[in-house]
Every structure is written in C-alpha cells, then in structure tokens.
Amino acid sequence: MEFDLIETIRVRTQGVRPDVVLGVGDDAALLDVPAGQRLVACTDTMVEGVHFLPGTAPGDLGWKSLAVNLSDLAAMGAEPAWALLALTLPTADARFVERFADGFAELARAHGVALVGGDTTQGPLSVTVTALGTLPIGESLPRAGACAGDAIFVTGTLGDAVGALRLLRSRGPGTGERNPPEVALRARLNRPEPRVAAGLALRALANACIDVSDGLLADLGHVCAASGVGAEIDMEALPFSAELRAAFDEAACREFALSGGDDYELCFTAPAQRQAEIEARLTNAGCRVTRIGCIVAGTSVRALDANGNAIATPHAGWEHFTP
C-alpha cells in the first residue's frame, strides 16, 4: 500500500532535471550542485489543525506545503531546484494522495522543481517538505544585513490570507464561493505564490531579506534582532489588496498586515538611494513593491501614524509553545 502511494506521487511529480542523477526509488537522491554555487536547504512542517483547517482541499495542501518552502528559498535569493516530501496520513487514501500530488506538482512544475525523495508513514495528517536550491557564493540575502538608514520594502500586498481565514472562521467552509473578493482572498490563503523571481532580482541589491510568514511585526523583528537595529513602519504606506479593503475596514487591514501570518511576501531592506533600481527590477520580475518604512538605530520595531507618532501595536505574530 505504501509503495502504491509512493508510485502515485512519483508519476504525478516527475520533472526532468538533468542535475537529478538519482531520484525517487533509491535509498537517497544524488544531485549535482553546479560549480561556484552553494546548496541552500530549508524545511517546513504543516500539521492539520495547527497550520491548516481540517477539511482543507488536498490539492491546496500539496501546493501550499511546497509554496511555504519555496518562499524560504526566495527570501535567501536562491533558485529552487529539488524537494523532498515526508507525508504522514491517517489512512492509505489513494484519492487524497492523487489530489495532493497534483497540487504539489502544479507549483513544482511552475518553478522547475523536481521531487527527488521523501517518506510515507501512517499517523495524524501532517506534511513536511524539504526544499533545496542553489545560489552563487556570496549572493545570499541574510536576515543580519540591515543597516540604519536603509529603506524597508515589501512585495505584493499584506493581510489577505488572514482576512480569508477570518471570513472562513466566521462563516464556515463552503460559503462565500460566489463572492469574488472572498474567492481572491481565499486563493492567497490556500495557494500562496512564493516570490521566487523577486528573490532572484534582489540578489546583490537588498541588504537583508525575510519572507513574511508570521506577520510583519514578528518577521521584521527577526531582521532587526539579527542585524542589531530598529525599524519604523509607516502605517499609511502598508499595501493592501482591493479585495481586502472591500471586505474589511482600515483598522482590520492594518491589524492583519502587522500580526497576521501566511502572506509569503518578501520584506527586505536596501539603501534608500537604490529605490528606483529596486522598483525597476521587481516590476521586471512581475512583482509590486512598496516602501513601508526605514531602519533606525536601536532595537524596537515601531509603527508610526501619519503624524509620525508611534501607535500601539497588537500582539506580535504566531509562535508555537506560547503558554
């Protein structure tokens, strides 16, 4: 049964990459890393009831389990190449695995990623993906590179995924399917688009970068802590989608952007005088970018209103093991 499931996954995710010397089927995969490049590795787990609602469509789960990892690679400026998939399932549900693998494969194909191995076990539903990519030596986008005086930028729009979750929680699944703004928000929650092209465009341009998975305050806080600096966010500048604005008032949009999670946009810092170059490169990469504040001396991340006064910020982002 286990091997039927693995075969189901294998046939659906077969990508052709000449650098896969040996993929699914042996004890471990053999991969060629190009000369002059570093291997970039990350992993993320999604547990039912913790990271996704019970009843989430299997195809969406397959997509998102890879997307959150490609987002981590993007935040390093890496080019994704390979992935491994550890799948824990309550039962050997072939139909579930087919749909899961189709969703996974759709995103993998879009980014030229080959699934090269994994593990299949029985237990409470949980998905762990490991993503591997490459990066020219010396061109990574670490968290620790932010300097006082840098401008802070964010790709795309913030808050959509948490907005979708809020609507789902209040109305229940199976509702809102015919409401266009809600459909668009739900797509942001279920099928986030990792900012891979933006990450590549920011190589040797951004000083520091992180993907926004736990909310802007928390994630920008990580950049500041790693870099030994503080930050000021201009609340008026935060980018929201038309769909989020249609469904929520300004205060809710701001709260979602600051402390919601699951946006998978990139937040990065760069010298302010490079703004035009950044805008040109990201537009080229098909990605909206907004300047949302500046890096300052100190250690605190503050949100400022239109008059430059600090405003009370809601609790920071998601953390596991919080008592």
| Selected binder of ligand ADP within 59, 118, 221, 230 (CB under 6 A) | 118
Which residues sit opposite 44 in a β-bridge?
129
Among 32, 119, 250, 277, binds ligand ADP (CB under 6 A): 119
Q: Is 7 in the site for ligand ADP (CB under 6 A)?
A: no
Binding residue count for ligand ADP, defined by CB under 6 A: 13
- For 14-19, which contacts have Cβ atoms below 8 Å and span 24 or more sequence positions? 15/108, 15/109, 15/112, 15/113, 15/114, 15/115, 16/114, 17/81, 17/82, 17/112, 17/114, 19/81
Pattern 16-45, binding to ligand ADP, x per CB under 6 A?
A: --------xxxx------------------
Rounded distance, CA 49 to CA 55, Å?
Answer: 10
Region 45-104 residues binding ligand ADP, contact defined as CB under 6 A: 85, 87
Nearer to ligand ADP, 97 or 141 (CB): 97
Q: Which of Mg ion, ligand ADP, none interacts with 230 (beta carbon under 5 to 8 A by kind)?
A: none
Residue nearest Mg ion, CB atom distance: 119
Question: Considering the rule CB under 5 A, would residue 2 count as an interface residue with Mg ion?
Answer: no
Q: Which is nearer to Mg ion, 85 or 208 (CB)?
A: 85
Q: Which residue number, 11 or 144, has a Cβ lying nearer to ligand ADP?
A: 11
Of 118-126, 191-199, 221-229, 314-322, the segment contacting ligand ADP by CB under 6 A is 118-126
Contact of residue 25 among ligand ADP, Mg ion, none (CB under 5-8 Å per partner type): ligand ADP
Q: Which stretch binds ligand ADP (CB under 6 A): 115-123, 136-144, 220-228, 262-270?
A: 115-123
Binding of ligand ADP at residue 128 (CB under 6 A)? no
Strand partners, 89: 122
Query: Of 4, 119, 277, 305, which one interacts with Mg ion (CB under 5 A)?
Result: 119
Query: Minimum Å distance from CB 116 to ligand ADP?
Result: 7
The dihedral formed by the CA atoms of 95, 98, 104 and 108, expressed in degrees to the nearest 10: -170
Structure-block tokens of residue 170: 């209040």
**Chain residues in the site for ligand ADP (CB under 6 A):** 6, 9, 24-27, 85, 87, 115, 117-120
**Chain residues in the site for Mg ion (CB under 5 A):** 119
